[in-house]
Amino acid sequence: MSINSNANNQPALISASNLTCIREERLLFDQLTIEINAGDIVQIEGPNGSGKTSLLRILAGLSQPYEGDIFYKNELISQAREEFHQNLLYLGHLPGVKGEMTAQENLRFNLTLHGLAINDSEIEETLAHVNLTGFEESLASHLSAGQHRRISLARLYKSTANIWILDEPFTAIDKQGVHSLEQLFKAHTKQGGCVILTTHQDLLTFLPSQVKKITLDYMGE
Amino acid sequence: MSATNLSYRAVFSLVLKRDLTIAMRHKDDIINPLLFFVIVVTLFPLGIGPEAQILSRIAPGIIWVAALLSTLLSLDRLFKSDHSDGSLEQMLLSPQPVFILVLAKIVAHWLITGLPLILIAPLLAVLLHLNEQSYGALILTLLLGTPVLSLLGAIGVALTVGIKKGGVLLSLLVLPLYIPVLIFATSAIDTAALGLPYSGQLAIIAALFFGSLTLAPFAVGAALKVSTN
């Protein structure tokens, strides 16, 4: 199970060698080697419990693999922490949105924390991208699950990171939203970024040949 | 738009402001520990009787034990909600140093729970007939001691945040670490009541404070990485 593509001289944006992951005494994947280059869109597939989220968390450096290493441009991510984190945008199952803060404050905090300065009109514009116009001043606790996810996805429109790791980004997002996210992924990969995501839906606006797939199948007992 | 490097101070104040904003909109976090502190302290005269002699003898212990328990009660909020809504992950994945993020969160916790306690303590000391000479020592020990409680407690919370029911474990982990603070703080207040210098005890609490201020955030950062694994 490995992906090797456009063998130009640029080092792979993110690569993993010999990853092994064991959860609850079950082997989820073994000796997995991945190489993801600029311009790639990678969809990780597999049934529930096959380790998709575990793989994404390991790639983001949140979880430790049982065996194996992750590299950012051929450097171990633990050694290039600051640079890697500057170029990484990870959105997990949990949106990371505080109910006590407004949509605007949540977005501003998340962007500022990642070193992106933004002014009020840009915030409004970004929230408009995710259809949250009129909700800027609403406390997030008064918004729906889908709107929470939209607040966290709004970061994508302003992100300067080139690696996007997205765990089920389309959950609770309506058709129109999915379409505009796919457009965004397209633009991002064209600009030399990469997108790694899990989803049970097919990416409709991409040709099947454009999307690289990693299939995790249930291996162990 | 490009990513800029924030100064450590900017990161610190960003996180501090966020936590204080959340606390101000979720006032339970401020009121609960304070109310607990006041209730525990005021129950003692009712249970023991109003004799000034006995009360003034046990006042330092009561105030400090109540402060300690109320801190323990409030520790959970330090990382639990951030962990359950995913903001903790986002903070750990930000390019900012974990040390600063953690320190800002602990300082916010102290401002929310420790500081109100110190402000109301003199009032409760009057209620318990605390010796007049001990007021200075009470305030000084609380000023130096309650940050230690927040700092050491943060290590315990960081270790147990990933566990569903970590409450009991948290108390078991953290209480033994609180005991030196309790012993030296009450001893300082007792010594002050006798009119003797208490700078020795105060120096030890100050040492605990600076020791935990510089080391605890590292421990918390490491513990959070393990907990989010």
Q: Which residues on B lie below 8 Å from A86 (Cβ)?
A: 3, 95
Please report, for residues A52, A211, B47, B65, B116, the alpha-carbon distance to residue A204 in angstroms, rounded to integers and kept in the order given. Answer: 21, 11, 72, 62, 56
Residue A120 lies in a domain: yes
Domain of A139 in residue numbering reads as 97-160
Residue A146 lies in a domain: yes
- As a whole number of Å, the end-to-end CA separation of chain A is 20
Q: Considering only residues A207 and B213, tell me which one the structure prediction assigns the higher pLDDT.
A: B213
Break chain B into its structural domains and give their ranges. 8-228
What sign results for the dihedral spanned by CA atoms B125, B129, B130, B131? positive
Q: What is the mean pLDDT of residues B93-113?
A: 94
* Angle value at C-alpha B7, between A86 and A96, nearest 5 degrees: 50
Report the gap between the CA of B175 and the closest CA in chain A (Å). 30
Chain A residue with minimal CA distance to B13? A113
Residue A141 lies in a domain: yes
Residue A96 sits at the chain B interface (C-beta within 8 Å): yes
B209 CB-near residues (< 8 Å, 6+ apart)? B144, B145, B147, B148, B151
CB contact under 8 A, A100 and B3: no
Residue A151 lies in a domain: yes
Q: What is the mean pLDDT of residues A4-23?
A: 75
Mean pLDDT rounded to a whole number for chain A: 85
Residue B3 has pLDDT above 90, yes or no: no
Residue A220 sits at the chain B interface (C-beta within 8 Å): no
A70-100 burial code (b ≥16 CB/10 A, e <16): bbbeeeebeebbeebbbbbbbbbebbbbbbb
CB contact under 8 A, B93 and A60: yes
Report the gap between the CA of A57 and the closest CA in chain B (Å). 8
Alpha-carbon gap, residue A108 to A90, rounded angstroms:
17
CB contact under 8 A, B89 and A110: no
Q: Which residues on B lie below 8 Å from A110 (Cβ)?
A: 90
ipTM for the complex shown: 0.87
Q: What is the mean pLDDT of residues A51-62?
A: 89
Residue A107 lies in a domain: yes
* Angle value at C-alpha B51, between B49 and B57, nearest 5 degrees: 105
User: How buried is residue B196: exposed, middle or buried, by Cβ count under 10 Å (0-12/13-18/19+)?
Assistant: exposed
CB atoms within 10 A of CB B50: 9
CB contact under 8 A, B229 and A93: no
* Angle value at C-alpha B20, between B18 and B24, nearest 5 degrees: 120
Q: Considering only residues B71 and B3, tell me which one the structure prediction assigns the higher pLDDT.
A: B71
CB atoms within 10 A of CB A132: 20
Confidence of residue A1 (pLDDT cuts 50, 70, 90): very low
Residue A101 lies in a domain: yes
Alpha-carbon gap, residue B191 to B177, rounded angstroms:
23
A16 in Cβ contact with A59 (< 8 Å): yes
Q: Which residues on B lie below 8 Å from A108 (Cβ)?
A: none
Q: Considering only residues B215 and A206, tell me which one the structure prediction assigns the higher pLDDT.
A: B215
Residue A219 has pLDDT above 70, yes or no: no
Alpha-carbon gap, residue A91 to A195, rounded angstroms:
11
Residue A65 sits at the chain B interface (C-beta within 8 Å): no
A49 in Cβ contact with B215 (< 8 Å): no
Q: What is the mean pLDDT of residues B81-99?
A: 91
Residue A173 has pLDDT above 80, yes or no: yes
Enter the pTM of the model.
0.91
**Number of helical H runs and strand E runs in chain B:** 10, 0
**From B25, B26, B86, residue closest to A92, measured CB to CB:** B86
CB contact under 8 A, A62 and B3: no
B176 CB-near residues (< 8 Å, 6+ apart)? none
Alpha-carbon gap, residue A197 to A121, rounded angstroms:
30
Under DSSP, the state recorded for A162 is S
The most confident of the ranges A122-126, A205-209, B45-49, B149-153 is B149-153
Indicate the length of chain B as a whole number: 229
Chain B 55-94, CB below 8 Å of chain A: which residues? 81, 84-87, 89-94
What confidence tens digit (pLDDT) does each residue in B144-196 have? 999 999 999 999 999 999 888 878 899 999 999 999 999 999 999 999 999 99
Instruction: Name the phi and psi angles at A119, rounded to 5.
Output: -100, 175
- Three-class SS state of B221: helix
Number of structural domains (chain A) is 1
- Three-class SS state of A21: strand
Residue A3 has pLDDT above 60, yes or no: no
Residue A158 has pLDDT above 70, yes or no: yes
pLDDT at B120: 95
Residue A194 lies in a domain: no
pLDDT at A221: 41
Percent of chain B at pLDDT > 90 equals 81
Pairs from B49-58 (Cβ < 8 Å, separation ≥ 24): B52/B129, B55/B128, B55/B129, B56/B128, B56/B129, B56/B130, B56/B131, B56/B193, B58/B128
Alpha-carbon gap, residue B77 to B19, rounded angstroms:
11
